[in-house]
Amino acid sequence: MYPYFKKKFIIPTVAAGFLFVGASFKDDFFEIAKQIEIFTTLFKAVNTNYVDETNPGDLMDKAIKSMLGSLDPYTVYFNEQDVVNFKINNTGEYTGIGAMIARKKDRLIVREPYKNYPADKAGLKAGDEIIQIGDVLIADFKDDASQLLKGTKNTKISIKYIRQGKTFTTELVLDEVDIKSVPFFGKIDEKTGYIVLAHFSRKASNEVKDALEKLKADGATQIVLDLRGNPGGLLNEAIDICNLFVPKNEVIVTTKSRIEKHNNTYKTNKEPVDTQIPLAILVNGRSASASEIVSGALQDLDRAVILGSRSFGKGLVQRSVDLTYGTQLKVTISRYYTPSGRCIQALDYAHKDKNGVAQKTDAKNFNAFKTRKGRTVYDGGGVLPDIELDEAKMSPITTALLKNDGIFDYATSYYYKNPNLGDKIPTVTDADYSTFKQYLKTNKITFDTDTEVALKNTLAAAKTEKIDETIAPEYQQLLNALEKSETTLLDKNQKEIRNLIQEELIKRYQYQEGLYQYYIKNNSEIKRAVNVLNNQTEYKTILKM
């Protein structure tokens, strides 16, 4: 527009920019070098002068974790063993026992044995408490005890475990375990295919493609893609899965960062499988990261109807950086944006409250964006479905029951009291639910809701200040009122809780495959998705087709 001024001032302006960037880099480098030198001298001084013997490794581990903890929960340090686990999660392949396990104090709890893998073949069941692996007592092993269950193929490992109060021993024979990204696919009815995508490993897009093509060959003319509970995974797999349903060269996601090399635009680069097949996607509050890229992108491109509840809201991208001695850093490098331009990150880690808790974006501050065909969508807190389903949302009392293993532990008890159901689908009756409530009370399973935790903290503070006797009557009155309220909530949310109990029981008797078979016949969210697909008028109206 003003060629004279452009020509005259463009060189000095660019030069000034380079001078600015150079000076900034130099200052940053000096500050980093300065802080490293301070830390190094401090670390050496502490370890050489402290009154008691120190463990430099433990001190450094705590220092690193404390430093990274001030950023976001996704920027983490991996020691050598952690690196192995991280690779397993991304590839979906490892040699081990084929079970989901979790540490609980001085025991490893078998959460779910996978059908026909070593743990299952050795007779382990969900709820078994492993107390010894080989000669190692779990109570004495403070590191990641799951590492004791890994090794080369055909390695034999003896374990000791507790089941329903009795101690047993068995021998595990390690084998290759292939964790499928698509644990199940099948037909809901004559024309509706159903694909479960559990996570985004390196095989995810190939597995979804294979399932899609087989379902189409079997007569499926519409698809339900289930992303509920999917925590995410590899970014490129999310793009390739979108590519199955949209043409080549579509923008799926862009990433933005203060560092130029991390600013990227990711497009589809393959020929799609089917750009016209009607598609419904299920999400919930545990669908995160890559799940949100897929659902958010296909929503923005008006390619799929999204159903369920608002997704988790993780709009941050991480990259692994190799460090010395086989360690790694997974660091947040950018934010991602869906095709309409929205970032769906829910928590702002740059702004935390006095307790160090990241603040959630207030709904009134959400920004509106437009899909390709002009539908309004919002940023600021996950992917909001086109059709919100109440049954997809989880009440606080139910969340507490999952967190404190109330449902899991009851299912374990139920299983051993009813061992001979076989292929029969367990039904949770009114009597069973009453037994469940009594089980919670008998076993003193606390809910640890925010209110309950706050009340316990109040008593702890009162004891410190030696005024607990003064407030004891009022405290007990509040505690009784809270317990009464929790009982009321157990009744109010009975349908939701009973469904979760039943799902947990089906897995005990029929593994995950049995649960998905149950889903395609009985799950209300899947039924609603099928209804939308069957009603082409509603489907096309939602997508403005």
pLDDT confidence of residue 13: 38
DSSP-derived 3-state class of residue 101: strand
**Fold match flag (93-178 vs 184-392):** no
Helices (H) and strands (E) in the chain, counts: 15, 23
pLDDT confidence of residue 445: 86
DSSP-derived 3-state class of residue 347: strand
Q: Is 470 left (phi over 0), alpha (psi -120 to 50) or beta?
A: alpha
pLDDT confidence of residue 94: 57
pLDDT confidence of residue 152: 84
- For residues 376 and 368, what is the distance between their CA atoms, to the nearest angstrom? 6
Residue at 11: amino acid letter: I
Q: Which letter does DSSP use for residue 147 in this model?
A: G
pLDDT confidence of residue 255: 94
- For residues 380 and 346, what is the distance between their CA atoms, to the nearest angstrom? 5
Q: Which letter does DSSP use for residue 277 in this model?
A: S
Return the domain boundaries, the chain: 3-54, 93-178, 184-392, 396-524
pLDDT digits (tens, 9 = 90+) for 212-261: 999 999 999 999 999 999 999 999 999 999 999 999 999 999 999 988 99
pLDDT confidence of residue 487: 86
Please count the other Cβ atoms lying within 10 Å of the Cβ belonging to residue 28: 10
pLDDT confidence of residue 87: 59
Task: Please say whether the beta carbons of 431 and 498 come within 8 A.
Answer: no
pLDDT digits (tens, 9 = 90+) for 4-37: 333 333 333 333 444 444 444 455 678 888 999 9
Q: Going residue by residue through the chain (545 aa), what tens digit of pLDDT does each one get? A: 434 333 333 333 333 444 444 444 455 678 888 999 999 999 999 999 999 999 998 898 889 988 998 899 999 888 776 666 665 555 555 568 999 999 988 899 999 999 999 999 999 999 999 999 999 999 998 877 888 888 888 999 999 999 999 999 999 999 988 889 999 999 999 999 999 999 999 999 999 999 999 999 999 999 999 999 999 999 999 999 999 999 999 999 999 998 899 999 999 999 999 999 999 999 999 999 999 999 999 999 999 999 999 999 999 988 888 888 888 888 999 999 999 999 989 988 888 887 778 888 788 888 999 999 999 999 988 999 999 999 998 898 999 899 999 999 999 999 999 988 877 888 899 999 999 999 999 998 887 767 777 777 777 777 777 776 777 787 778 877 887 888 899 999 999 999 999 999 999 999 999 999 999 999 999 999 999 999 999 999 999 98
pLDDT confidence of residue 81: 66
Q: Looking at the domain that runs over 184-392, which CATH code has it been given? A: 3.90.226.10
Please count the other Cβ atoms lying within 10 Å of the Cβ belonging to residue 358: 14
pTM for this entry: 0.85
- For residues 30 and 44, what is the distance between their CA atoms, to the nearest angstrom? 21
Question: Among all residues, which ones are annotated catalytic?
Answer: 289, 300, 314
- Residues across the chain: 545
Six token digits for residue 212: 């899609």
Q: Looking at the domain that runs over 93-178, which CATH code has it been given? A: 2.30.42.10
Please count the other Cβ atoms lying within 10 Å of the Cβ belonging to residue 373: 11
pLDDT confidence of residue 16: 40
Query: 């996704």: which residue's tokens?
Result: 74
Question: Residue 120 to residues 112, 233, 242, 483, 497: CA-CA distances in angstroms?
Answer: 9, 27, 35, 39, 27
